[in-house]
Chain A
Amino acid sequence: MTVMQVVFLVTAVVSLGGAVMVVTTRNLIHAALWLILTLFGVAVMYGLLSAPFFTVIQVVIYIGAIAILMIFAIMLTRRVKQEPGSSVNKGWWLAGLMALVLFTALVWMLSTWPGFQTTLPELPQDFDSIKVLGAALVSTEGYVIPFEIASVLLLAALIGSVAVAWERKS
């Protein structure tokens, strides 16, 4: 058990526990807070994978923007504090079954893949993944077109969400 394994396991347990709470908690605000915990765990995972940039933008985007927006939306769309009735629909057992089947299938199929047990390779010397990523995202040899399309998508989403949520005064 190396330090890394310990950190991984702790994080994994916390994140998955948080995730389970997200999908099971009846109180939506709590669900959102659990979601933040899970997202935080995932951020740590990125750190373990030596992707600090992703750690930080996970926090900025998912926690700082998405989760908070969700809390915002929950507060805006809540009439009473607790919605009556079950928080899951009638087919929840089928959904759980599907998730279980999918998980089993995924793990089984991955385990038959020879690369499954790849160990951690050393990063190249003086490897600054942010620099490389930044260059790749705007280089014409790299991913400038997906990057620009993503920008356009964001703009479209910005305009679209404003248009959709606009309250028209009649």
Chain B
Amino acid sequence: MEPSTIVWLLPVPPLLAFFLIIFLTNRNKTFSHLLGITAALLSFVGSMVIVTLAIRSGHLGEEPFTSVINWFPTGDTWFQIGVWVDPLTVATLFFVAITILMIFIYSVGYHNFGQPKGDHDQPGLPPHGATLEDEHGHKHRVPSIEPMYSRFFAFISLFAFGMYVLVVSNNLLTLFVGWEIMGLCSYLLIGFWYAKPSAKAAAVKAFLTTRIGDVVMLLGLAYLYYLAGSLSYDVIFSEETLHLLTSTGTPFVGISAAVLIGLFLFFGTVGKSAQWPLHVWLPDAMEGPTPVSAMIHAATMVSAGVYLVIRVFPIISAGMQHGEPTITMNVMAFIGAFTGLFAATIALAQNDIKRVLAYSTISQLGYMIAAIGIGAYVAAAFHLFTHAFFKALLFLGSGSVIHGVEHGVLHTGEDIDPQDMFNMGGLRKKMPLTFWTFLIGGFALSGFPFITAGFWSKDEILADAFAHANWPVLIVLAFAALLTAFYTMRQITLTFLGKSRTKSAEHAVESKWTMTLPLVLLAAFAIIAGWPGIPGDFPLIGGFIPNFVHEFVGETLAEHPEAITFSWIPLLISLGVSLGGLALGWWVYRDIPAGAPDPLEKPLGPVYKLLKNKYYFDELYNYIFVRPSLWLSQTFTYLWLDRKLIDGFLHFISRITFSLGSIFRNYIDKPVINGFGDFVGESVKRIGRTGRFIQTGRVQQYMVMALIIAFGTLFYYLFILSQP
């Protein structure tokens, strides 16, 4: 089989699984999850085959696996779609396939497969637990199975389909299709527990916010198609097209088409990857089930945004001369770095275990965007790669924690929020596997030196910033990294270390193997995923493994980026910020008694309140956008324009029409037309009443009559008509 054939087949199993679950197996939970996992496994195996083939092919950058078919005619040419596997795709495919499979397996445990049905669970609400009675008559409450279990697997299958389409497509249009499918799925999944008002609102918010980015991105696509005549990668990234784009002017002074398109596409990323100012939807999206959070916020959807900007890097960097960043890149560097710091500060003051992770995701994505903004293309891809593993790990780990605490809540009957870190503590002993994997993930996120993958990728970004002498970015990112390490340690300390602060935390239990197995596997990846990216000239350990990421992913670009030379300064910075942040985090939060406030609250004062309320961005947006548009629609458009002006006019017309109608009715319709109609009807009725006696219901009489008529007709034709 040709590699490209396999690539074509990659998105198919999840799609099939989606339809099969929806149409056939939705009543049977076992079949549904088997279908979903089988599909994910098939795609996973296919992806690994592709990855192996790609690595062995040696010069994938020049000759990607590609295959093209005609889709729809555009004038006298065809719009072509196809698949495209180059090193960037391979790297993305690798982590996407693994994380998706892990999340599928994890969902089985997370949704309590094998547990009894809930006592009063209903679709649209999270399971409330079931009461079991053992042989001694003791009643105890246990977690109950998700009522919409099959639906969940259908949705995440569709989601996986969208992601695979996005990754393997060879043009921006099918990429956009996959992008939008994921948008839809994220809406459906965030609002999975649709009976919860908060989940419903979060779903709508996520959908609308990302929509803003998508519309702008579509504008960019349209403009690009208008200029280049195609959206296929090999066309739009060719020398001629890039030259054409840079040389075409736009109505905005001093901005070339390339810059405009780049900004438009980047804005799509801002929406999808939750960058400032469109970051508001992502923390709210935590209302969805945890596997969804992991799927959307770690592995797939938000990385899709970064993937897009890495993919269109040739356009973004078009016109770059002598290493001078373009306008687009400057904008990206600014937004990325700003978001990185901004989100990290918010994360400091959050108590919800998942929200902390959400802000950390925003922050890390900002990192990547900033890296691209300074031209560190490979470093961004590398960080994307490692981040996917450890962030998925962290989310799944947090899900496991929540699950454990929920178990405790069910057991004790306490009325507490199982997601609040201040209600936890001391879980290290209760959930050892979760603790160790979470620790590895957290250290990777903080960039714990040398061991974890996060260190290498983050270090590379800092090193790049240093090499490009981009001091503001370097400083901001370094500070953000410090904060990251701090709040990560805060999270770990609050959750796992110290003593249990509630009874529920005391009764927490380790999750099932379906949940912990993905954790262990992902933890392994959170460590080894960094090794292929160790710089070759790193002291002592550099050079054991060739800097694979740099060689391989860098091939994607026409001109290979220069490998930066090793320098001690960024290394020391990253060592300092990570270890410092971790130490500080542990020191501040090492011993919090139950019910105590956050130790940062007093020293920071009003700033803490600002951070806790996320800089009042939700309120700001509410005030600037939501309320005015509500006013516009409710008061202005509905009451004034619609009810008064348009309706008034219409009522006037209707009154005239009505009187005209009654004239017609009384003087034409009733006497003339109705009279005629009644006459016809009455006549038919009278004839029928007279003639119905012919129908006696006796078959033989009918036959005799038919014969008489037949004979008469025959007689007429033979003897009368045929007479000359």
Interface residues of A in 113-133 (CB under 8 A from B): none
In-complex Cβ contact of B711 among A91, A95, A105 (8 A)? A105
Task: Mark contacts of B709-721 with chain A using CB atoms, 8 A cut-off: 1 yes-contact digit, 0 otherwise.
Answer: 0010010000000
- Please tell me if B624 contacts chain A, counting CB pairs below 8 Å: no
Closest Cβ–Cβ distance, residue A101 to chain B (whole Å): 6
Is there contact, CB below 8 Å, between B711 and A94? Answer: no
Q: Say if the beta carbon of B701 comes within 8 Å of chain A.
A: yes
Question: Main SS of the interface on chain A?
Answer: helix
Is B704 positioned at the interface, with any CB of A under 8 Å from its CB? yes
Chain B residues touching A, majority SS: helix
Pairwise interchain contact A95-B700, C-beta atoms closer than 8 A = yes
- Give the shortest distance, in Å, between B717 (CB) and chain A (any CB): 13
A101 to B714, CA, bound (A): 12
The smallest beta-carbon distance between B601 and chain A, in angstroms, is: 80
Cβ contacts under 8 Å, B714 to chain A: 105
Docked pose: A156 CA to B704 CA in angstroms: 30
A138 contacts chain B at the CB level, 8 A cutoff: no
**Residues of A close to B704: CB separation below 8 A:** 91, 94-95, 98
Contact with B along A75-104 (1 / 0, CB 8 A): 000000000000001010011001001100
Name A109's closest neighbour in chain B (CB-CB).
B718
- Distance between Cα atoms of A127 and B660 in the complex (Å): 88
Contacts of B698 in A (CB 8 A): 89
Query: When chains A and B are docked, how far (Å) is the Cα of A122 from the Cα of B704?
Result: 42
Query: How many Å from the CB of A99 to the closest CB on chain B?
Result: 9
Contact A91 B707 (CB under 8 A): no
- Report whether B701 and A91 are in contact in the complex, using a CB–CB cutoff of 8 Å: yes
CB distance from B722 to the nearest CB of A (A): 13
Query: Which residues of B sit under 8 angstroms from A98, Cβ to Cβ?
Result: 704, 707-708, 711
Which one of B700, B707, B708, B711 contacts A89 once the chains associate, using CB atoms below 8 Å? B700
Question: In the bound complex, how far is the Cα of B707 from the Cα of A102, in angstroms?
Answer: 9
A44 to B199, CA, bound (A): 90
| CA distance in complex: A71, B416 (Å) | 86
Count of chain A residues near B, Cβ 8 A:
8
Nearest chain B residue, comparing its CB with the CB of A98? B707
Bound-state CA distance A94–B706 (Å) is 12
Number of interface residues of B (CB under 8 A): 8
A101 touching B711 by the CB < 8 A rule? yes
A94 to B704, CA, bound (A): 8
Query: In the complex, which residues 210-237 of chain B have their Cβ closer than 8 Å to any Cβ of chain A?
Result: none
Interface positions of B from 667 to 724, Cβ below 8 Å from A: 698, 700-701, 704, 707-708, 711, 714
* Separation of A90 and B79 alpha carbons in the complex (Å): 80
| Chain A minimum-CB-distance residue to B718 | A109
CA distance A94 to B700 in the complex (A): 11
CA distance A91 to B698 in the complex (A): 11
Residue of A nearest to B708 (CB): A98
Q: How far is the CB of A27 from chain B (nearest CB, A)?
A: 21
In the bound complex, CA of A108 to CA of B700 (Å): 26
B211: min CB distance to chain A, Å: 59
Most chain A C-beta atoms within 10 Å of own C-beta, residue among B698, B700, B711: B700
| Interface contact B700-A91, CB-CB below 8 Å | yes
- Name B4-37 residues within 8 Å CB distance of A: none
The residues of B that contact A105 with a CB separation of less than 8 Å are 711, 714
Within 8 A of B (CB), among A35-86: none
Q: Which residues of A contact B708 (CB under 8 A)?
A: 98
Docked CA distance A89–B698 (Å): 10
Residues of B within 8 A of A102 (CB): 707, 711
A89 contacts across to B, CB distance below 8 A: 698, 700
A101 to B708, CA, bound (A): 10
Bound Cα distance A94, B707 (Å): 11
Q: How far is the CA of A101 from the CA of B704 in the complex (A)?
A: 12
A160 to B698 Cα, complex, angstroms: 24
| Bound form: Cα–Cα A102–B698 in Å | 22
Q: How far is the CA of A49 from the CA of B698 in the complex (A)?
A: 39
B660 CB, min distance to chain A CBs, angstroms = 61
How far is A91 from B699 in the complex, measured between Cα atoms in Å?
A: 12
A95 CA to B714 CA, complexed, in Å: 18
* Contact partners of A94 in chain B: CB under 8 A: 704
Name A12-32 residues within 8 Å CB distance of B: none
Chain B positions within 8 Å of A91 at CB level = 700-701, 704
Question: In the bound complex, what is the Cα–Cα distance between A89 and B697 (angstroms)?
Answer: 14
Interface string of B538-563 (1 = CB under 8 A from A): 00000000000000000000000000
A-contact bits for B568-593, CB 8 A (1 contact / 0 none): 00000000000000000000000000
Residue of chain A at shortest CB distance from B700: A89
Contacts of A95 in B (CB 8 A): 700, 704
Find chain A residues with CB under 8 A from B700 CB.
Answer: 89, 91, 95
Bound Cα distance A94, B714 (Å): 18
**Residues of B with C-beta under 8 A to A101:** 711
The docked-state distance in angstroms from the alpha carbon of A88 to that of B251 is: 101
Query: Which B413-444 residues sit within 8 Å CB-CB of chain A?
Result: none
State the Cβ distance, A93 to closest chain B Cβ, in Å: 11
Q: Which A residue's beta carbon lies closest to that of B711?
A: A101
Q: How far is the CB of A45 from chain B (nearest CB, A)?
A: 26
> CA of A95 to CA of B703 in the docked complex: distance in angstroms?
9
B348-386 residues at the A interface, CB under 8 angstroms = none
Q: How far is the CA of A96 from the CA of B514 in the complex (A)?
A: 89
A98 to B707, CA, bound (A): 7
Distance, CA A137 to CA B704, complexed state (A): 37
CB nearest to B701 among chain A residues: A91
| Complex alpha-carbon distance, A77 and B671, angstroms | 60
List the A side residues contacting B701 at CB < 8 Å: 91
Q: How far is the CB of A85 from chain B (nearest CB, A)?
A: 15
For residue A103, give the distance in angstroms from its CB to the closest CB of chain B: 12
Q: How far is the CA of A143 from the CA of B183 in the complex (A)?
A: 63
- Alpha-carbon distance between A98 and B708 when the two chains are bound, in angstroms: 8
Residue of A nearest to B715 (CB): A105
**Cα separation A127 to B704 with both chains bound (whole Å):** 44
What A residues does B711 contact at CB under 8 A? 98, 101-102, 105
Q: Report how far A105 CA is from B714 CA in the complex, Å.
A: 10
Q: Tell me the complex Cα distance, A95–B700, Å.
A: 9
| Nearest B-chain residue to A89, judged by Cβ | B700
How many angstroms from the CA of A101 to the CA of B707 in the assembled complex?
Answer: 10
Q: How far is the CA of A91 from the CA of B711 in the complex (A)?
A: 17
A91 CA to B703 CA, complexed, in Å: 11
A70, B706: Cα distance in complex, Å: 27
What residue of chain A has the Cβ atom nearest to residue B698's Cβ?
Answer: A89
Docked complex Cα distance between A105 and B698 (Å) = 26
Minimum CB–CB distance for B709 against chain A, Å = 11
State how many angstroms separate the Cβ of A104 from the closest Cβ of chain B: 11
Query: How far is the CB of A151 from the nearest CB of chain B, in Å?
Result: 29
Give the chain A neighbours of B707 by CB distance below 8 A.
Answer: 98, 102
A141 to B707, CA, bound (A): 38
In the bound complex, how far is the Cα of B708 from the Cα of A91, in angstroms? 13
Which B residue sits closest to A88, measured CB to CB? B700
Complex Cα spacing A105 to B711, Å? 9
CB distance from B701 to the nearest CB of A (A): 6
Q: Which residue of A lies closest to B707 (CB)?
A: A98
What's the Cα separation between A91 and B707 when bound, in Å?
A: 13
Q: How far is the CA of A101 from the CA of B710 in the complex (A)?
A: 12
Report the minimum CB–CB distance from B331 to chain A (whole Å): 75
The 6 listed contacts between A and B (C-beta, < 8 Å) are A89-B698, A91-B704, A94-B704, A95-B704, A101-B711, A102-B707
Chain B: residues with CB nearer than 8 A to chain A?
698, 700-701, 704, 707-708, 711, 714
A-B pairs, 7 with minimum CB distance: A98-B707, A94-B704, A91-B704, A95-B704, A98-B704, A89-B700, A91-B701
Residues of A within 8 A of B (CB): 89, 91, 94-95, 98, 101-102, 105
Given contact pairs A95-B700, A95-B704, A98-B708, a sample of 10 additional A-B residue pairs in the complex whose CB atoms are under 8 Å apart: A89-B698, A89-B700, A91-B700, A91-B701, A91-B704, A98-B704, A98-B711, A101-B711, A105-B711, A105-B714
